[in-house]
Amino acid sequence: MGVNPLHVIMNPSSVAVVGASNNLGKMGSIQLLNIIYGGFSGEIFPVHPTETEIFGRKATNAVADLPYAPDLALLVVPTRIVPEVLEDFGKIGTRHAIIVTAGFKETGEGGIALEAEVMAIANRYGMRFVGPNCMGIINTRLPLNISVLPVNMPDGVLAIASQSGTYITQTMPYLHRQGIAVSKAVSVGNEASIDLVDCLEFFGEDRDTKAICLYIEGIRRAERFLEVARRISRTKPIVAQYVGGTQSGARSGASHTGSLSGPDYVYNGLFEQAGIIRVDTIEDAYKIGWTLATQPPMKGTRAGILTHSGGPGSAMSDVSDRYGVAIPAFSSSLQDKLKRMLPGHASTGNPVDLTFITDTRPLVADIPRMLMESGEIDGLMVHGVNDTDFSSSMYPVMEQVIDISRSEFIKMSEVNLDVLTGLPAQHGKPLVISSFVTGDDHATQLLLEHRIPHFDIPERAARAMAALCQHYRIRQRKVGPPPPPAEKPAEAEACMVEMEASGADEFAAKALLKAYGIPVTQESRVKTLAEAQRAARQIGYPVALKACSPDILHKTEQEMVFLDLENEAALTEAFTAIREKNADTPLLVSEMLRGNREFVAGISDFPGFPPCVLFGIGGIWTEAIRDVAVRLSPLNREDAGELLNAITASDMLGPYRGLPAVDRAAMIGILMNLSRLARDFPAVKEIDLNPIMVVGGRPIVADALFVMR
Amino acid sequence: MGVNPLHVIMNPSSVAVVGASNNLGKMGSIQLLNIIYGGFSGEIFPVHPTETEIFGRKATNAVADLPYAPDLALLVVPTRIVPEVLEDFGKIGTRHAIIVTAGFKETGEGGIALEAEVMAIANRYGMRFVGPNCMGIINTRLPLNISVLPVNMPDGVLAIASQSGTYITQTMPYLHRQGIAVSKAVSVGNEASIDLVDCLEFFGEDRDTKAICLYIEGIRRAERFLEVARRISRTKPIVAQYVGGTQSGARSGASHTGSLSGPDYVYNGLFEQAGIIRVDTIEDAYKIGWTLATQPPMKGTRAGILTHSGGPGSAMSDVSDRYGVAIPAFSSSLQDKLKRMLPGHASTGNPVDLTFITDTRPLVADIPRMLMESGEIDGLMVHGVNDTDFSSSMYPVMEQVIDISRSEFIKMSEVNLDVLTGLPAQHGKPLVISSFVTGDDHATQLLLEHRIPHFDIPERAARAMAALCQHYRIRQRKVGPPPPPAEKPAEAEACMVEMEASGADEFAAKALLKAYGIPVTQESRVKTLAEAQRAARQIGYPVALKACSPDILHKTEQEMVFLDLENEAALTEAFTAIREKNADTPLLVSEMLRGNREFVAGISDFPGFPPCVLFGIGGIWTEAIRDVAVRLSPLNREDAGELLNAITASDMLGPYRGLPAVDRAAMIGILMNLSRLARDFPAVKEIDLNPIMVVGGRPIVADALFVMR
């Protein structure tokens, strides 16, 4: 492993910048300006072939002429000279770089070759770098701002890693307006050398960082990503936006950073397994990240809602319910206390709705304190905390009837938020606020200053509270140790040899499954009618008879599957029918399972991912119902249990209308053993066990399909 | 029907205000101020028991003393005197009112009685009113502003009706900042007399209104709502937020406006049937409404994306895909033209990604025009149109190196948006913009002025474009005429009499279904073994035997259903087994269907809704899989067809892996006939046909359960 290269890249004591000039329209120049005027206290070396001075700093004409090897090289040069400049730095002993230049893997063939060339140079000199095709990094602690805009929020607590440069650079003014202070930020670009996993590890160790925000178009080291994220997310919340799960999103991502994406449900599986909170927009990524970074964690799932209007209260309730946040009806003793403080028509049941008020004070002091103290909630949302925005909107009519200056009138409306803003720290419970105002409002400014998350619509405040609740559940869940190392089953190698020979037919496949302890139907592979009859007698009627060949893929559609053969006559008839279609395929005589529900389990293959274990509703309607979920291997017992619960129709596993529950341990065993099998034999690309019939409560694999690499 | 009372309420020539005083902290006073200073040119009569002058206007001490009956009475008085004041107006001849006062139905029993009293008075005098428990109305054309905040945006084109007063009053400054101009707005409150349907009808006819935005906690006249919305939505887009679909949302709504809500999927059905675009947040309701009100309609489903950074482009692509908006890869000829205008690393495939720029000009002129002209898209999204926000953020570093004043520097960056803002009208294609800035930005201000929808994050711009595409589909779809009136089938009444006598057992239920032409299993109701044997011979083995009594609800769980009885011996054994459990229940001998898939159809009952027709995946797993959709009766052919397509697993209806397609016309017939039956017999509360087996392709009802009122 070695030391994470981001330690040096984020904390250099000297930086060389190649590609900056006195032309202010160029990105390199702007980045140099931000390094210089962003407060970086280390040495800065502009390197330029012709200029002798850039922004008042002496420029060096060639890398070779630098007085010593700087800790970090920033390359913002034309694509074709990147290899050469990087090599120059390699030669003088610089081991860390940021390659902003684009035009590599994301552009197709030629770019892929050039990126490989850059990697070869880096490897030769033991160099690690961020990029290419990135926009830089930010460390507000040092400070060091290698981006295109000033960053002025101190004491940052939210770390960002992004596969889009915009999200750590051009959005800085946006983040400032929202009161969001970044601790560290990395634009990872094409991730040739340093990727999201390195960022996660670095952020995980960073003491300033209280929560992590990721923008993702595709992950290429999914197994390691899972391992790292799962560890970090138990204490430091991680939120992620993923946009590669659709056809258009994937195509856009590929031409943006050359990323390889995968289907949405696979990333959902990864995120759930890793304890990552998935969000749908970049705003949610930032603002939910900020909420998680600044608020005390929730210690339960109950939230209170305080509002001065019913619509926002109902909308917050609705969102909360969708995300599993309880909005408990308050106890009658609490409601009695509240009623004494409220106008007659106010609701006290939760939401507490003060109804229309012109004065914000009731929202910000005794009532929220009473709710926080009540012991009936684990977090509080308040809608409508604003003051001067309302009064400044009202002034044009007010000035018609009272003799008061605008500034006096507005000043009069300013509320004191000391009580409200102190509540989270005092009670160790999170607080989120919404109101339809911007940062110009006095109360809103106070909230931002005190790092109380503020949202301009109630639904997003509720979504943020839901994220706090999600993180409560993430902290609570049992993750379990990795599955214990296990020898390959004794017979497995032999089965695999046979399977490779037979072309992975169903019989061989089931033999391998059986070697891994996965229950399969009792069956015999036969060639002749006599063999079939003997097998059927041994198994006991009724039996099934089907073609058994890897070359016959849709045997049901081809009418080469006969079920429920009650006796020898029926068996003989079925045998003849199959033989008429195919003179020499081997056949399978199987016990006829009388199941009462069907599931599917399997192994799927996605680029950048380890073998993924899939589980869902099975039978012939699998593709129509599309209720499947995924976890990455290796699967431990807890992963497998969560996978069972991850499908929509998970009630099908329980006791259900007189049917017994599915043997959960047995189903978990199937999933864990599938994971083990896939990791033991990398030659296996895909496995499809469909259906897994449930007989009594016992799951038995009735059909198995293997696809080898 | 008569004239819509909103014509007068929204356009009065005189208004009396009861409840305003010189106390500026009171809602009535603020509303009076907004009427006076909001430009209302009609007569205004403050009525107050003691004050003689309010805000310089002469006050009348009693309603009876008014010089004449004003067109409109505004009541903002204590709850208990509302009936009395309303009656006073009734006596002098005022026929329209707005009752702002709260404390009615939403507070429970006493309030419900008081609301009934108010209604009785209104009916006695032929009065119609908005409210109670509302916040007023706005008509920016007149103008008349009966709300709590000034409204200053002329030429409004978006109409709003809301079950929350906040959303037409306190959000006005928010709407102004977003450049959104309202045409009409109504806070409907408890809807005792005037409801959302009246608003819809009124907005539908209003020539200023180009799109309609609804905030809904529950609909009480769903059938009429559907009828009206379906007609209007074909030309005027309607967006709606519904928050009553969850337990917490419903509870909050009930205590807010006393509304009765229903499950989410029922409202989804209503909205889809009505051609209403459902949104998840109040921001989307406003901003998507605004987009639909201001932009030319899409004439296809293809959108182009132009951006200066990859992340936003990918996020827009991803959102588009989720909502069925095509992001077509551009033709090579268009890409060639674009390449000539772009830097080397820019992508041209759609998204067109200019990559990092410090100058916004390339985003706003030739390239967007070229895309609009290309014939390859039906709408355009552009990310990154902003100017002075960037330069003002940059100035602190720039001033270090160039000698220029802040204002000069910022002025320099201002772009001309004439080309961009002219594109929608010129090409008849919609344009939406996103960038991470607020309204302070010069370019953003220009966009707002030109009514080009602007979003602060790319995902929401893409969501708005998707709404334009949804409305394209709404305009395209065939709605069809109402189902033709039909006589009750001749046998139906007799069946119903029998069913009411027999307690709606399965046999009677199926007889009624058969009368409506719904195919059911061939079967006989029997009491004795001999009868059973005779029936089985007639039907032909194998048969099913089951208990047939409305008192035996879960007959499968009670082991009173025997399937696949192959011969008389098996039948006899089954008969005996049932008789051992129950000595005298009638029994049903049925043909044994060999189906290959199972659906459910039925009638469901929701308060405020006509009988709803339900369709979904059937069989015993219905409740676990929960894939059902709903349409409101009366169902025409098109409704029924859309209902079949509305379930997630609608592929189960098609030809599928060798199985024939389900006979679509037959399934549509079942749904339409269910609708007819439910409307013919209001005594029928619920019907559950589960399973409907598909034999070959033919759907046949295998079990039927009726619940009578």
The model's pLDDT over B677-699, given as tens digits with 9 standing for 90+, comes to 999 999 999 999 999 999 999 99
DSSP A258-307: ------HHHHHHHHHHHT-EEESSHHHHHHHHHHHHHSPPPSSSBEEEEE
Q: Do A657 and B248 touch (CB under 8 A)?
A: no
What band does B448 get if pLDDT is binned at 50, 70 and 90?
very high
Task: Give the per-residue SS3 of A659-673.
Answer: ECCCCHHHHHHHHHH
Residues of chain B found within 8 Å of residue A556, distances taken between Cβ atoms: 657-658
Residue A254: per-residue pLDDT: 83
Q: Do A652 and B37 touch (CB under 8 A)?
A: no
Residue A504: per-residue pLDDT: 77
pLDDT (tens digit, 9 = 90+) per residue, B318-328? 999 999 999 99
Residue B594: per-residue pLDDT: 85
Q: What angle separates helix B388-401 from helix B442-449, to the nearest 10 degrees?
A: 160
- In the numeric block, the tokens 């002469």 are attached to B58
Q: Do A318 and B246 touch (CB under 8 A)?
A: yes
Percent of chain B with pLDDT over 90: 83
What band does B583 get if pLDDT is binned at 50, 70 and 90?
confident
Residue A45: per-residue pLDDT: 97
Chain B residue with CA closest to A214: the answer is B311
- C-alpha torsion sign, points A497, A498, A500, A504: negative
Residue A79: per-residue pLDDT: 95
Residue A502: per-residue pLDDT: 75
What's the gap in Å between the CA of B378 and the closest CA on chain A? 16
Residues of chain B found within 8 Å of residue A53, distances taken between Cβ atoms: none
- Examine the pLDDT at A1 and tell me if it is beyond 70: no
Q: Average the pLDDT over B631-649 and give the result.
A: 97
Q: Lowest-pLDDT range, A168-177, A228-237, A278-287?
A: A168-177
Residues 6+ apart with CB under 8 A from B110: none
Q: Do B171 and A436 touch (CB under 8 A)?
A: yes
Residue B359: per-residue pLDDT: 77
Q: Lowest-pLDDT range, B230-244, B254-268, B679-693?
A: B254-268
Residues 6+ apart with CB under 8 A from B28: B17, B18, B19, B20, B21, B74, B76, B77, B100
Residues of chain B found within 8 Å of residue A409, distances taken between Cβ atoms: none
Percent of chain A with pLDDT over 90: 83
pLDDT (tens digit, 9 = 90+) per residue, B482-536? 998 889 998 999 999 888 887 778 888 999 999 999 999 999 999 999 999 999 9
Sheet holding A543-547, edge to edge: A523-526, A587-591, A543-547, A561-565
- C-alpha torsion sign, points A535, A536, A540, A545: positive
Q: Lowest-pLDDT range, A176-185, A308-317, B545-554, B700-709?
A: B545-554
Q: Average the pLDDT over A661-667 and give the result.
A: 97
- Examine the pLDDT at B437 and tell me if it is beyond 70: yes
User: Rg of chain B over CA atoms, in angstroms?
Assistant: 32
Residue A577: per-residue pLDDT: 93
User: Rg of chain A over CA atoms, in angstroms?
Assistant: 31
- C-alpha torsion sign, points B540, B546, B550, B556: negative
Q: Do A313 and B256 touch (CB under 8 A)?
A: yes
The 3-state DSSP class for residue B31 equals helix
What's the gap in Å between the CA of A603 and the closest CA on chain B? 22
- C-alpha torsion sign, points B337, B341, B346, B350: negative
CA distance A37 to A19: 18
Percent of chain B with pLDDT over 70: 100
**What separation in angstroms does the CA of B401 have from each of A29, A55, A57, A58, B112?**
11, 6, 11, 14, 72
Residue B623: per-residue pLDDT: 93
Residue B356: per-residue pLDDT: 76
Q: Average the pLDDT over B225-232 and give the result.
A: 97
Q: Average the pLDDT over B697-708 and give the result.
A: 94
> What count of other Cβ atoms lies within 10 Å of the Cβ of residue A559?
12
Residue from the list A24, A163, A384 with its beta carbon closest to the beta carbon of B402: A24
Residue from the list A253, A349, A394 with its beta carbon closest to the beta carbon of B255: A349
What band does B362 get if pLDDT is binned at 50, 70 and 90?
confident
Q: Average the pLDDT over A54-68 and give the result.
A: 95
Residues of chain A found within 8 Å of residue B358, distances taken between Cβ atoms: 24-25, 27, 30, 148
Q: Average the pLDDT over A93-111 and give the result.
A: 94
- What average pLDDT does the structure give for chain A? 94
Tell me the count of A-B CB pairs closer than 8 A.
339
Residue B377: per-residue pLDDT: 98
pLDDT (tens digit, 9 = 90+) per residue, B49-74? 999 999 999 999 999 999 999 999 99
Residue A578: per-residue pLDDT: 92
CA distance B676 to B678: 6
Residue B196: per-residue pLDDT: 97
Q: Do A309 and B170 touch (CB under 8 A)?
A: yes
Residue from the list A34, A170, A356 with its beta carbon closest to the beta carbon of B309: A170
- In the numeric block, the tokens 């099975």 are attached to A618
Q: Do B310 and A256 touch (CB under 8 A)?
A: yes
Q: Do B282 and A401 touch (CB under 8 A)?
A: no
- Examine the pLDDT at A357 and tell me if it is beyond 80: no
- Examine the pLDDT at B409 and tell me if it is beyond 60: yes
Q: What angle do CA A223, A226, A231 make, to 5 degrees?
A: 135
Domains of chain B: 6-292 (3.40.50.261), 296-476 (3.40.50.261), 492-513+520-591 (3.30.1490.20), 598-708 (3.30.470.20)
Residue B361: per-residue pLDDT: 87
DSSP B96-162: EEEE----SGGG-HHHHHHHHHHHHHHHHHT-EEE-SS--EEEETTTTEEESSS-----S--EEEEE
Q: Lowest-pLDDT range, A509-523, A628-642, B333-347?
A: B333-347
Residue B658: per-residue pLDDT: 85
What band does B554 get if pLDDT is binned at 50, 70 and 90?
confident
CA distance A312 to A318: 10
Residue from the list A27, A150, A658 with its beta carbon closest to the beta carbon of B397: A150
Residues of chain B found within 8 Å of residue A171, distances taken between Cβ atoms: 436
- Examine the pLDDT at B1 and tell me if it is beyond 60: no
Between B345 and A313, whose confidence is greater? Answer: A313
Q: Average the pLDDT over A351-373 and give the result.
A: 90
Contact assessment for residue B504 and residue B702, using Cβ atoms and an 8 Å cutoff? no
CA distance B414 to B430: 24
Best A151, A252, A627 member to test B by mutation, with max B CBs in 10 Å, is A252
pLDDT (tens digit, 9 = 90+) per residue, A549-581? 877 777 877 888 998 899 999 999 999 999 998
Residues of chain B found within 8 Å of residue A597, distances taken between Cβ atoms: 621
What's the gap in Å between the CA of A485 and the closest CA on chain B? 36
Half-sphere exposure of B126 (CA within 13 A, CB side): 6
pLDDT (tens digit, 9 = 90+) per residue, A620-637? 899 999 999 999 999 999
Residues of chain B found within 8 Å of residue A324, distances taken between Cβ atoms: none
- Examine the pLDDT at B227 and tell me if it is beyond 80: yes
Residue A606: per-residue pLDDT: 94
